[in-house]
Amino acid sequence: MRLVEITGGEPLLQPKPGVMRPPHRCRHTVLVETNGSLDISKLPLACVRIVDVKCPGSGMEGSFYANNIKRLPGATR
């Protein structure tokens, strides 16, 4: 299996790299790790979404986009 993880800084701020295309087109399993501050619904559904939830007391809890929780696979809507 070919596996690619996109992370570092905030990947959703970058222009969409070609590797984020649906995996059947790029032949990779694609993981995208985000800090959760931006809307993850823009990611292709085939991407594995890894969202870093900011806990109270972290100093960054206000930067988290709460609607991302509903956009994770298996989340109750």
The mean-pLDDT minimum among 25-29, 33-37, 41-45 falls in 25-29
pLDDT at 33: 93
Closest among 44, 41, 42 to 72, alpha carbons compared: 41
- % of the chain beyond a pLDDT of 90: 13
Using the Cα atoms of residue 67, residue 71, residue 75 and residue 77 in order, give the sign of their dihedral.
Answer: positive
pTM across the whole model? 0.76
Give yes or no for residue 11 having a pLDDT over 60.
yes
Task: Please indicate whether residue 49 or residue 63 has the higher confidence score (pLDDT).
Answer: 49
Pairwise CA distance, residues 29 & 2, whole Å: 6
Amino acid at 51: V
Q: What number of CA atoms fall less than 13 Å from residue 23's CA on the CB side?
A: 14
